[in-house]
Amino acid sequence: MSTTFPEGFLWGGAVAANQLEGAYLEGGKLPSIQDVMPRGIAAPPTEEPTPDNLKLVGIDFYHRYEADLDLFAEMGFKVFRFSIAWSRIFPRGDEETPNEEGLAFYDRLIDAVRARGMEPLVTISHYETPLHLAKTYDGWVDRRLIGFYERYARTLFERFGDRVRYWLTFNEINAVLHAPLMSGGIWTPKDQLSKADLYQAIHHELVASASVTRIAHELNPELKVGCMIIAIPTYPLSPDPADVWAARQSEHENYTFGDVHCRGAYPGYFLRKLREEGVELHITAEDTETLRNTVDFVSFSYYMSVCATADPAKQIKGQGNIMGGVPNPTLPASEWGWQIDPLGLRIVLNDYWERWGKPLFIVENGLGARDELVEVDGVKTVIDDYRIDYLRTHLIQVREAIADGVQLWGYTWWGPIDVVSASTAQLSKRYGFIYVDRHDDGSGTLERYRKKSFDAYREIITTNGAALG
């Protein structure tokens, strides 16, 4: 069967500053929340950065990006998604003027990306709120974050808007429901955080997202601004209508974010939930007006699906899955308990397209696995057939969805080079087509090696998907 990927489809890879740059205090940068999260979301943060935190060095992308971009170009990337570390631009977050050294670093990075024929796709905030904003303001619980974020985003649009067309406002914005510190910079421990504060923080982020969408369009109508959500299709555990409704309610939790971004107002089911939980959000008339600035496209990450049930006896939480949900008895799982469901990606693509009618962009998809570096004909590599299989089976479903009529702009694999994991802060949870010699104990040379999947992805890209067969 011949390829059905459209001409100009944006193939590529995605990373986040805090997971690969390292250089956590260079160029005027101050710590972000990630620099005090040595165990990811598996343990509370530390007061100060500690040497066991792998993110302080990352994979040293800050100093090695030229060579890494060469490898991405060798695979044929048409797009490279990365984030800008807020704490490089506004080190504390609440300054009046940006840090020129930070801006200059991203000038160089963006130019290097474009020089290799790749389109930059920039995440403005990817789980890396400046630490000062978290500790002093309790992150997005405080309304003043809207103003700080607007200033930060405007600075980026003004500086880079001539070279960066695609922007994402918040990585996986719905993750704040489950990981308030990582996602919302909220310093109050999760078990002490009130529903009212959590929803108020969500409201502030949604207003900020809409506001900078407007700013971007005012500055340059050519800019394309998207939201970014975790797509996690939720299936009923049984055909019992009560389970079907439980699944729908869980989908609603995540739909809320896309509904506001695409329709410009809160959906009725969310307002009902607030009423029932006794939460009264502080929404100004100006907020309501601002929310009307809807996004140009919807981007999402997709790793797995889950199930839901109304039966309390069957409410088992899947291992390693940050969004909760009951494991699906019909699916295999990764070593970290993330269930593998290629068809779920076709389901999500159809669902989002039908629901919102906006162009879609898959900005994360991938498999975290333990890899073994071996030598084949004198060359060090990893025989990662499991990763190739994940890639191929998911892309085949993407192709099906495109044939179903879904408008999809592109696909960026998560972590095309091994990076530090967001949820566990390990390096042993590898996603890359490129192996990085660095380990959980901090040892390693940081050398890079092409895995078997490197060639597989290159072939898929260079044939615009025809190599999928």
Chain contacts with ligand BGP (rule: CB under 6 A): 16, 19, 171-172, 301, 364, 368, 414, 421-424, 429
CB-wise, 87 or 421, nearer to ligand BGP? 421
CB-wise, 59 or 237, nearer to ligand BGP? 59
Give one DSSP letter per residue of 135-173, joined into a string. HHH-GGGSTHHHHHHHHHHHHHHHHHTTT--EEEEETTG
CA dist 214 to 97, 156, 284, Å? 21, 14, 18
Type of residue at 404: D
Spatial contact of 230 and 172, defined as CB atoms under 8 Å apart: yes
By CB atoms closer than 10 A (0-12, 13-18, 19+), residue 174 is: buried
In angstroms, give the least distance from the CB of 417 to ligand BGP.
Answer: 13
Buried/exposed 257-284: b ≥16 CB within 10 Å, e otherwise: bbbbbbebebeeebeebeeeeeeeeeee
CB-wise, 424 or 453, nearer to ligand BGP? 424
CB-wise, 39 or 135, nearer to ligand BGP? 39
In angstroms, give the least distance from the CB of 230 to ligand BGP.
Answer: 6
**158 catalytic per annotation:** no
d(CA 86, CA 237): 41
CB-wise, 19 or 129, nearer to ligand BGP? 19
In angstroms, give the least distance from the CB of 179 to ligand BGP.
Answer: 9
CA dist 171 to 197, 210, 220, 233, 374, Å? 20, 14, 22, 18, 35
Spatial contact of 246 and 310, defined as CB atoms under 8 Å apart: yes
**172 catalytic per annotation:** yes
Q: Reduced to 3 states, what is the DSSP secondary structure of residue 226?
A: strand
In angstroms, give the least distance from the CB of 189 to ligand BGP.
Answer: 20
How far apart, in Å, do the first and last CA atoms of the chain sit? 6
Active-site annotation holder among 364, 372, 375, 400: 364
d(CA 9, CA 6): 6
In angstroms, give the least distance from the CB of 140 to ligand BGP.
Answer: 17
- Compute the 3-state secondary structure of the chain and give helix, strand, coil in percent, each to the nearest 5: 45, 15, 40
Token output for 161: 């808007």
Strand 306-308 to 166-170 pairing: unpaired
Bridge partners, residue 414, by sequence: 14
CA dist 237 to 283, 301, 329, Å? 37, 23, 9
d(CA 199, CA 182): 16
Bridge partners, residue 166, by sequence: 121, 224
Active-site annotation holder among 21, 119, 172, 205: 172
In angstroms, give the least distance from the CB of 172 to ligand BGP.
Answer: 5
| Residues taking part in catalysis | 172, 364
